[in-house]
Every structure is written in structure tokens, then in C-alpha cells.
């Protein structure tokens, strides 16, 4: 297979983990006889500093002309700490999702046997947790009409039937491929937009009789995710709720540095870690590259290259079992490995299979 991949390293630790992701893509493609061409592009604070736009047109064109985007992270404290800033790095992320038509964010949440002790939850609660959060990505308050003055502000949580139907179809299809259990998360007791979500879901559910469909208010879902994460198989929800719940779900595994994601829709799909740019760690060789590398596994699987994705996952699990880990997940007294060393170990593992 011939792959064209746009590489958007972004800000903070982004370039460091991006290099490891690119190295893993290259190793797997070499192993399986695929050709791959990478095209680098700027985004986030880096792009603001260079051209004044967090997602410039040239970057959009590179993404649009590629088969996939391998994205890392955006964010910089000089923008975070300035409420008056008119242009922010995160606007580039939103623009990328909107321009590429990426309406579905897919975030798997799973535990790793060797890391159960790092979860803030008891091992008997999180053992075996394995679910997927599907977040609507281009609607809701993040994109609705906004207003702010010194005395009043609002964000409009707008959804149309078509937007809800297309994300629910993604969710039902995922449930069909997994354990056939879908939980629709909303706040239908309070919000009109949620009542439309629930109405549409109830209309669509009979088309998937093999799937057990249940409905849960977002506050209850947040509590249930901590109390009984094994209850869930596939969760689908709107943009704002999904942003919050997926970050909560990351705690289950013990580190945000372990969880990848995919954003799909009508344009070029994007594969990225769920964590941010962690600017305080920039250049220190301590950032965990595993979420970026597992995003590579999702990239291969998106193109139905299942063996390739499985090899990446096998390599990641082997690195954890061998205690080749960055500091935040290293066992007490274990050898110290940095971003580069973990990436190199995984590439060597792939090369030797």
C-alpha cells in the first residue's frame, strides 16, 4: 500500500513524540512492504508565531491531499494566560476538525495489566475495563453562536438531526463490531438539545436490534465510569460532554500518555494522542510517546491493515512488560528511559519480529 501522511507535530512535547510516531510508521511499513511519504506542516502556537494562523491554508491543503494526518499536540502558556488573545493554538485544532469534516472522535479506553497499580481506582474496579468513547466533534457549544461582554456571555449548544444521526450511526456500527452495547449519554432532563439526541437515538435503535441501547444522564455516566467502568462498551455523546468524559476515562488506565484517538468523517482522518502539549516538559526527553504510537496502530487499522496495527500494539505491550517506560509510569527502582529511548526500543522490537 502507498501511504501519504501529513505530520503535524505542533507545540510543546509534540515534536518529540511525533518523531517517535513517524519512526514507528516507517518501521512497520518497511516490515510489511508498504511505501510511505511524510509531509510536515505547521499548526498551533508554532503556526501563529510563524504566519499568524494556527491552521494556515497551506497546512489544510497538505492535510487534504494526504491519506491520513498524524497529529501530536497544540498549546502554549503565553496564549493560555492571556484571556484577551484573539488567536489561540486550540483554534487551529477546531479549524482542522471543521475543515476536514471530522465529526467523530473515537477514543478507546483500556487498562494494561502491568499498569493497574498506577490507576487511581482500585485494581478490582478497573481490571478488564475496555470501552470506546465516541464524541461528536464539530457541533455543539464549541461551534455554536457565541457572545461575550463584561456583563454577559453565552455559547449556543446547537445540533441538527443530520449531525446527530451521522454520529449515532458511527456509534451503532462500532457497537456491532464489539460487544453490542451502546450507551447514549445526554442531559435530556434539562437540555433541549439532549432531548433531540435522545429522540433520534430512540428512532434509530430499532434498526440495530442486536445492540442493547441504554440512555444515561452525563452526571450519572461520569459517576458510573469511576464506579463500574466495565459496564460500558461503546459510549456516544455530544461535543462538550465527550470532551469531559474522555479525559475522565483516561484516568482509568493510569496515564493520559497511554491513550490514542482517531477523528474521522468526510475528509482526511486524523490520529493523535488525547493529551496536550505539556510545555513544562518540552525538551526534557520525559514525555510518554505511547499514546502517539498507539495512534499509529489506529491509523493502520483505519486502512484495514490489521496485522500492522496488531504489531504496533504488541510492541507497546512488550515495552511495558519489559519496564521500558518513561518516568510517569516507571516502576519504582526501575531503569530510566526517555521519550527517545522508548521509541527506539519499540522500533527495534518491530524490526526484529
Q: What pLDDT score does 140 carry?
A: 95
3-state class (DSSP) for residue 92: helix
Residues 141/156, Cβ–Cβ less than 8 Å: yes
Identify whether residues 234 and 298 lie together within a single domain: no
- Whether 82 has a pLDDT exceeding 70, the answer reads no
Indicate the residue among 263, 287, 308 that finishes a domain. Answer: 263
3-state class (DSSP) for residue 114: helix
DSSP string, 66-133: SSEEEEEE---HHHHT-TT-SS-HHHHHHHHHHHTT--EEEEEEE--GGGGGGSSS-HHHHTT-EEEE
Identify whether residues 116 and 45 lie together within a single domain: no
Q: Is 307 a catalytic residue?
A: no
159, 174, 187, 208: the active-site residue: 187
Q: Residue 230: give the domain boundaries.
A: 103-263
Identify whether residues 153 and 237 lie together within a single domain: yes
At 172-229, the pLDDT tens digits run: 999 999 999 999 999 999 999 999 999 999 999 999 999 999 999 999 999 999 999 9
Banded pLDDT at 74 (limits 50, 70, 90): very high
Q: Is 336 a catalytic residue?
A: no
Identify whether residues 180 and 257 lie together within a single domain: yes
Q: What pLDDT score does 251 carry?
A: 81
49, 67, 155, 243: the active-site residue: 243
11, 79, 142, 337: the active-site residue: 142
Identify whether residues 8 and 69 lie together within a single domain: yes
Banded pLDDT at 310 (limits 50, 70, 90): very high
Identify whether residues 119 and 237 lie together within a single domain: yes
Q: Is 247 a catalytic residue?
A: yes
Q: Domain tally for the chain?
A: 2
CATH number of the CATH domain containing 235: 3.40.718.10
Q: What angle do CA 188, 193, 194 make, to 5 degrees?
A: 25
Identify whether residues 280 and 217 lie together within a single domain: no
Indicate the residue among 235, 263, 291 that finishes a domain. Answer: 263
Q: What is the 3-state secondary structure (H, E, C) of 26-57?
A: HHHHHHHCCEEEEEECCCHHHHHHHHCCCCCH
Identify whether residues 121 and 259 lie together within a single domain: yes
| Backbone dihedral angles phi then psi of residue 135, each to the nearest 5 degrees | -110, 130
- Whether 84 has a pLDDT exceeding 80, the answer reads no
At 85-122, the pLDDT tens digits run: 778 898 999 899 999 999 999 999 988 888 888 888 99
Window from 62-71, 118-127, 159-168, 278-287 with minimum mean pLDDT: 118-127
At 332-341, the pLDDT tens digits run: 888 889 999 9
Identify whether residues 199 and 78 lie together within a single domain: no
Q: Is 142 a catalytic residue?
A: yes
Identify whether residues 90 and 173 lie together within a single domain: no
Indicate the residue among 247, 263, 279 that finishes a domain. Answer: 263
**Residue of 67, 29, 108, 38 lying closest to 347 (CA atoms):** 29
Identify whether residues 221 and 299 lie together within a single domain: no
80, 130, 155, 247: the active-site residue: 247
Identify whether residues 98 and 155 lie together within a single domain: no
219, 284, 307, 321: the active-site residue: 219
Cα dihedral 167, 173, 177, 180 sign: positive
Q: Is 243 a catalytic residue?
A: yes
Amino acid at each position: 500500500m502507498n501511504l501519504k501522511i501529513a505530520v503535524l507535530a505542533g507545540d510543546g512535547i509534540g515534536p518529540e513524540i511525533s518523531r517517535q510516531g513517524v519512526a514507528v510508521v516507517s518501521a512497520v511499513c518497511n516490515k510489511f512492504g508498504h511505501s510511505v511519504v511524510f509531509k510536515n506542516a505547521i499548526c498551533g502556537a508554532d503556526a501563529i508565531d510563524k504566519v499568524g494562523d494556527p491552521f494556515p491554508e497551506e497546512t489544510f491543503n497538505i492535510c487534504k491531499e494526504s491519506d491520513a494526518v498524524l497529529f501530536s499536540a497544540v498549546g502554549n502558556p503565553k496564549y493560555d494566560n492571556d484571556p484577551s488573545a484573539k488567536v489561540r493554538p486550540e483554534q487551529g485544532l477546531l479549524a482542522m476538525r471543521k475543515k476536514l469534516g471530522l465529526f467523530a472522535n473515537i477514543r478507546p479506553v483500556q487498562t494494561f495489566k502491568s499498569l493497574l497499580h498506577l490507576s487511581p481506582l482500585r485494581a478490582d474496579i478497573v481490571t478488564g475495563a475496555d470501552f470506546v468513547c465516541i464524541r461528536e466533534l464539530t457541533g455543539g457549544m464549541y461551534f455554536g453562536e457565541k457572545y461575550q461582554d463584561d456583563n454577559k456571555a453565552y455559547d449556543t449548544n446547537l445540533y441538527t438531526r443530520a449531525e446527530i444521526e451521522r454520529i449515532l450511526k458511527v456509534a451503532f456500527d462500532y457497537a456491532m463490531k464489539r460487544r453490542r452495547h451502546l450507551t447514549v449519554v445526554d442531559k435530556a432532563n434539562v437540555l433541549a438539545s439532549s432531548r433531540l439526541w435522545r429522540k433520534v437515538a430512540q428512532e434509530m435503535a430499532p434498526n440495530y436490534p442486536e445492540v442493547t441501547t441504554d440512555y444515561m444522564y452525563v452526571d450519572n455516566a461520569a459517576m458510573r465510569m469511576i464506579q463500574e467502568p466495565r459496564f460500558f462498551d461503546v459510549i456516544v455523546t455530544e461535543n462538550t460532554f465527550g470532551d469531559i468524559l474522555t479525559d475522565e476515562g483516561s484516568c482509568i488506565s493510569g496515564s493520559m500518555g497511554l491513550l490514542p484517538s482517531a477523528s474521522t468523517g468526510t475528509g482526511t482522518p486524523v490520529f493523535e494522542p488525547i493529551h496536550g502539549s505539556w510545555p513544562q516538559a518540552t525538551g526534557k526527553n520525559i514525555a510518554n510517546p505511547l499514546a502517539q504510537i498507539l495512534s499509529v496502530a489506529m491509523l493502520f487499522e483505519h486502512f484495514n491493515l490489521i496485522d500492522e496495527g496488531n504489531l504496533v500494539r504488541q510492541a507497546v505491550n512488550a515495552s511495558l512488560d519489559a519496564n521500558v517506560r518513561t518516568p510517569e509510569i516507571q516502576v519504582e527502582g526501575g531503569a530510566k528511559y526517555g521519550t527517545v529511548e522508548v521509541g527506539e526500543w519499540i522500533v527495534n522490537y518491530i524490526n526484529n519480529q
